[in-house]
Amino acid sequence: MAGAVPGLSARLREVSGLLAGRFGRPELCVHQTDPVRNLVLTILSQNTTDANRDRAYDRLTKRFPTLPALAAARPSELEEAIRVGGLAKAKAKSILGALARIREERGGYSLDFLRGMPLPGAREYLTSFPGVGVKTANILLLFSFGMPAFPVDTHVLRVTKRLGLVPGTSTLAKAALSLEPHVGTGDHGPLHLNLIRLGREVCRPRNPRCAECPLLPVCPEGARNTKGKGRPAPERKTIPGVPPQREKRGAQPKRKGHRPGTSFALPGYPRSRKNGGHP
């Protein structure tokens, strides 16, 4: 794509390798695999936490167990079922509108015809639905169809901007379309998920934990944030004429009120969060 950062493919390979070294290579399938249900799920995921998205989807499926039942729901009924996920009125409108159009155009509730379409055409079709943007379309195409689409959410956008992989003025959609063709084959899902995890646990919006970031060696902003901030060695007290004692290896003496760090139980293992899994 024109205007892409020079050497972007190589830089993304390096970033992916460093993230895999810290977090491992995550499994791709974390969403519903049925395309229409995945479309509903991704609409519910907009502007909310994973936990609230899952609660909304659980209540929706209990109230409307089949797609025909969901499509026949009154807007007020659907809004009530998904209210916990936020923006219930807008999301209900998008869901019911999408189901009505799919039924009218395809004679049923199936998006399987997208499997035979090129990625750009399939994305263009999905983004023609009101309330469905590039991120939602890419999630559906990646997780339901295994297409090499690259979803960019706010975590991925923040991290890639700090890495200098996309311009600072990039939107979610522009960043996705810029990065997508440069991601390695088979790496679109794992890189997407690991960037989200990094953005949640380390590269946070405020007070990023740059010193412990696996991408610090390749991150310009991380280098600026940690410049001159290395921890100095503790000063040892000595007595004239008496040689300093060697520190004994092993357990350190407990200090009153001291608690060991609890950021990670194991290297790369996240702390518990209120939010759920990956979006």
Q: What is the pLDDT of residues 190-209, one digit of tens each?
A: 999 999 999 999 999 999 99
CB count within 10 Å of CB 106 equals: 13
Same domain, 61 and 126: yes
- Does residue 108 lie within any of the structural domains? yes
Same domain, 91 and 120: yes
pLDDT greater than 80 at residue 267? no
- Does residue 251 lie within any of the structural domains? no
Same domain, 39 and 61: yes
Residue 60 or 254, more confident: 60
Whole-structure pTM value: 0.77
Share of the chain above pLDDT 90, in %: 72
- Does residue 54 lie within any of the structural domains? yes
pLDDT greater than 50 at residue 258? no
Last residue of a domain, one of 145, 170, 201: 145
Query: CA dihedral in degrees (202, 165, 13, 265; nearest 10)?
Result: 0
CATH of the domain at 217: 1.10.1670.10
- How many domains in the chain? 2
Same domain, 111 and 97: yes
Give the count of alpha carbons within 13 A of 254, CB side only: 3
- pLDDT at residue number 240: 52
- Does residue 75 lie within any of the structural domains? yes
Give every CB contact of residue 211 below 8 A, 6+ residues apart in sequence: 226, 229
pLDDT greater than 70 at residue 75? yes
From residue 273, give the alpha-carbon distance in Å to each of 26, 51, 92.
18, 10, 28
- Does residue 241 lie within any of the structural domains? no
Last residue of a domain, one of 82, 113, 145: 145
- Under the banding of pLDDT at 50, 70 and 90, the label for residue 268 is very low
CB count within 10 Å of CB 158 equals: 17
- Does residue 123 lie within any of the structural domains? yes
Same domain, 39 and 116: yes
pLDDT greater than 70 at residue 159? yes
- Under the banding of pLDDT at 50, 70 and 90, the label for residue 5 is confident
Cα–Cα dist 193/154, whole Å: 12
- The rounded mean pLDDT for the chain is 83
pLDDT greater than 90 at residue 3? no
Q: Which domain holds residue 186?
A: 1-28+148-226
Contact 75, 93 (CB under 8 A): yes
Share of the chain above pLDDT 70, in %: 78
- Does residue 263 lie within any of the structural domains? no
Same domain, 126 and 152: no
Q: Which residues is 239 bridged to in the sheet?
A: 242
pLDDT greater than 70 at residue 235? no
Same domain, 160 and 60: no
